[in-house]
Amino acid sequence: MGRSVKQGSAAGRVAVIGELNVDLIAGGLGGAPVFGGEILAPEFEMTLGSASAIFACGVARLGHPVTFVSRVGRDHFGRFCLEALRGAGVSTRRVVQDAGLRTGVTISLSTRRDRALVTFLGAIAEVSPGQAPPELFRRHRHLHLTSYFLQRRLRPAFPALLAEARRRGLTTSFDPNSDPAQDWGDGLKDVLRETDILFVNEEEARLLTRQRKVEAALAQLGRSVPCVAVKLGARGAAAIRGGEVRFAPGFAVEAVDTTGAGDSFAAGFVHGALGGKKLRECLELGNACGALSTMRPGGTAGQPDRARLTQFLQTVKKQAASAAPGSN
């Protein structure tokens, strides 16, 4: 991942093969609801959902042309998803509208600290390997896959898709996301063998490695994957690449909704990696993108473009410098 590319050029084009759904977000909750009871939601939004789409929008806003491959129903939610992607500058030419399916829906119950999700799979489970022929990867620089456990039809093809992309000179990234069945089967090993950058959160890192400490999990994963980033929420993130281990603290922001923050982190990290940035810089870019995304409801409304990202980082560094001992 040390190769540098010209940002925004064809060489920086990113392919994302994945699921599409809408998010119905009840935000600002004071606590979790319980069966037999009712609580009030101060906020409600319908936004573009899915880890794949949130990543795609995030990396597109940072200047990378994005090709999105997916499947939706020929329904209102499907049209909503397509319009949202196009509004973010993502190509939807390879998104199939299937009249025989209903577009997936995720209901997000969100507090300022965490969230709970309920998902109706619908078309999410029906994205097929045939939608991503080898010629898809022409003129692309990077392939990102996520939502491994939700994409039941595509799941067996993950290793082959990543391998084909690498054979054609692309770099690859993979974020498994959580397993609703909590099984974490052996099939992931084949996926990791074809992955250049692995994204996991703290709990996923432990489940994958059976290690209790993040440092030990990171080291173990780093022996299988060239670059691994572990998302630590508000605390920041840690990564290993080529034996180098780095930690970058999170940014203090007024979080409104954490939906998709990890996918925005991945977009910022991949943006840095494609630009040949050092590992700590990749972490810093990812943390900034993740933090900014939490300041608006939904996964995409708060995502920064490059100008906003640069401004945010410059402001944070100036504030840190002025607060340092002896700065006055």
CA distance 1 to 171: 7
Residue 105 or residue 317, greater confidence: 105
Show the tokens assigned to 224: 């299988």
Distance between CA 112 and CA 115 in Å, rounded?
Answer: 8
Cα 39 versus chain centre, distance: 30
pTM (two decimals): 0.91
The pLDDT tens digits of the residues spanning 120-150 come to: 999 999 999 999 999 999 999 999 999 999 9
The confidence score (pLDDT) of residue 61 equals: 97
What is the rounded distance in angstroms from the CA atom of residue 250 to the CA atom of residue 235?
5
Of the candidates 63, 58, 61, 54, the one whose C-alpha atom is nearest the C-alpha of residue 20 is 54
Q: Annotate 245-273 with b (16+ C-beta within 10 A) or e (fewer).
A: ebbbebbebebbbbbbbbbbbbbbbbbbb
pLDDT tens profile 224-277 = 999 999 999 999 999 999 999 999 999 999 888 788 899 999 999 999 999 999
* pLDDT interval class at 3 (50, 70, 90): very low
Phi, psi (deg, nearest 5) at residue 185: -65, 175
Please give the CATH number for the structural domain made up of 13-32+40-316. Answer: 3.40.1190.20
CB 87 within 8 A of CB 77: no
d(CA 193, CA 161): 12
- Alpha carbon distance 86, 28 (integer Å): 28
Residue 158: other Cβ atoms inside 10 A: 22
pLDDT, position 115 = 76
**Residue of 151, 169, 165 whose CA lies nearest to 15:** 165
Domain boundaries, the chain: 13-32+40-316
Residue 8: its pLDDT value, please? 40
| Residue 243: C-alpha distances to residues 10, 20, 212 (Å) | 31, 36, 20
* Residue of 114, 179, 263, 305 marked catalytic: 263
Between 318 and 78, where is the model more confident?
A: 78
User: Does pLDDT of 291 surpass 50?
Assistant: yes
Q: At 133, is the secondary structure helix, strand, or coil? A: coil
Of all residues in the chain, what percent are helix, strand and coil, respectively (each to 5)? 40, 25, 40
CA 178 to CA 201: how far, in whole Å? 9
Q: Annotated catalytic, 263?
A: yes
> Which residue from 255, 250, 235 is spatially nearest to 297, judged by alpha carbons?
255
Whether the per-residue pLDDT at 186 is higher than 80: the answer is: no
Lowest mean pLDDT among 65-69, 107-111, 214-218, 267-271: 107-111
Kindly indicate the confidence band of residue 100, based on its pLDDT and cuts at 50, 70 and 90.
very high
CB within 8 Å of 261: residues ≥ 6 apart: 290, 291, 293, 294, 299
Helices (H), 121-227: 158-167, 188-192, 202-209, 214-222
